[in-house]
Structure 1
């Protein structure tokens, strides 16, 4: 998206700070989900997205500008299709953390920048370079390193369902990033409505699949609000602002640091036990993402 911004917003320092803030907040997702672990994943998704919608309302309102309204077809795609991508990304991500080790599921989820690069370059150039393919292969080898023990043990039980859901979340985020590139859609301005619609979608799915549960504890509610206001509120608007920067191509590379930071936060918090495979896989994902984006 190309939004009209002031000189302050075009400052390279502000663009870099916005990108760094988004990366750190996204890296906190697995840790915050673990803190709200008593909530079923779909219910957690609905509440977090609702908090994000309420939190981004004043910020997004301040960025609104006059422009051509969406056609009926584009309006349905944006308000239903894009909202469904957000609901699928968040719901699948949270569910993967409950079915697989959070650090491993997070690394698979955060391969989405590579998927986004593959899709966007194919759409723009009609082909993929050897560097892009090699980087993607390197990044996915890091994710494969985590899945390998399950594969060697045989069978499709255990954490496999969590790994598959993490891959679904990565695909949804990659498609959402592609949607952000459509200039006329202005998703940053429509963020509260998208998050609110996604919250309703996941809330309905939660009632159908998870039933009714007791009220969560204050700690779980606090973690849920932090999820909504941070990674799915401020971070998404901050990243949209960073993409308006003249150096957006370089700032976009910061997203590749998310899996490394997410793993580090989980280990430091004691949620994940140190394992030699985790740093190796994180480095492979980071190196592959950087290589593919060159």
Structure 2
């Protein structure tokens, strides 16, 4: 898409998205968006391999890699593409990418990691709920039920079946985690407002996020010089879960089944745990098995529309 098309598409009414979505046409972009979930599954493993690199420094480095990854395609039309993209898309893109990570790190600094992570991981459920606000979308009971099952599986996975005890002194951390969930779910759903903005723009969103993360690093953290293995881990993060995944998610949320993508997102912590188990960095347990059943069942329930569309196409 060239800059003129991007500008015209941004200014034109989104009449195509006012009608009910076509499940058959959504299959391919939904599959592309689900690729981001697969990449996010490697986040925990690659992060452990980065050692003691501070969070904002790591975010700046990984997003810089992710931005450079898509820069050649984004620059094909020169600077006209950047000027053609509406201001709202810039605010949404940078706000979503940077805002999520900023509030997540604030939450981890002010609350136990398990509690903060569980609250932050409300975003897939919120995506399913917020999708009802989109033109032409209808939230069916099986979509909500599938998302709730996925949340239950994630709860078992994160807590190890031990439950959580929310405490008043961690309220600022809990609030930041809740904002984190709201930011990412709102970004994912509101991204549907800009279907004509090319996914190539994610490169610039990543680079701006890297700059903002670098500023936070200089303000709040001490720099750690990575060694050879840590540089490779940072490169893997930028090519995968903290970079490349956002290109796939952008395309999926703009053109795919947003409700199904929200439910499928619960596979990320499950696959992440499975990967840690496979590499000897975590142990298998009954909560993992139970989480597998709940998340898989929830995904199958929420994907009823897509499965029917696939059968019709077959």
For the aligned pair, the TM-score class normalised by the smaller chain equals: 0.7 to 0.9
Matched with 2:71 is: 57
Q: How many residues are treated as equivalent by the alignment? A: 277
My pick for the range that moved more, 173-182 or 93-102, is 93-102
Partner of 2:89: 78
2:294 to 279, 284, 287: 284
Deviation at 1:166, TM superposition (A): 5.9
- Give distance in 2, aligned partners of 1:67 and 1:198: 16
Instruction: Report SS of the residue matched to 2:64.
Output: helix
Q: TM-score, length-normalised on structure 2?
A: 0.69
User: 1-side partners of 2:198 and 2:231: how far apart?
Assistant: 27
CA contact (8 A) 1:117 1:292 kept: no
C-alpha contact (below 8 Å) 2:131/2:139 kept by paired residues: no
C-alpha change, 1:274 and 1:67, in structure 2 (3 Å) is: closer
Give the aligned partner of residue 189 of structure 2.
Answer: 178
Q: Is the 8 A contact 1:137 1:288 kept in 2?
A: yes
SS in 1 for 2:162: helix
Aligned counterpart for 2:223 among listed residues 193, 203, 213: 213
Q: CA deviation at 1:135?
A: 3.0
Unpaired runs of 5+ residues, structure 2, are 10-24, 305-314
- Corresponding position: 1:39 with 2:49: no
Within the candidate set 78, 87, 90, 2:98 is matched to 87
**Structure 2 SS opposite 1:232:** coil
The answer to whether the aligner puts 1:100 opposite 2:113 as a matched pair is yes
CA distance 1:178–1:17, shift in 2 (3 Å) = closer
CA distance in 2, matches of 1:164, 1:275: 31
| Unaligned residue ranges in structure 1 (runs of 5+) | 5-10
Compute the displacement of 1:263 (Å). 1.6
In the alignment, the residues of structure 2 paired with residue 23 and residue 126 of structure 1 have an alpha-carbon distance, to the nearest angstrom, of 22
Q: Please point out which of 206, 209, 229 is paired with 1:198.
A: 209
Aligned residue in 1 for 2:232:
222
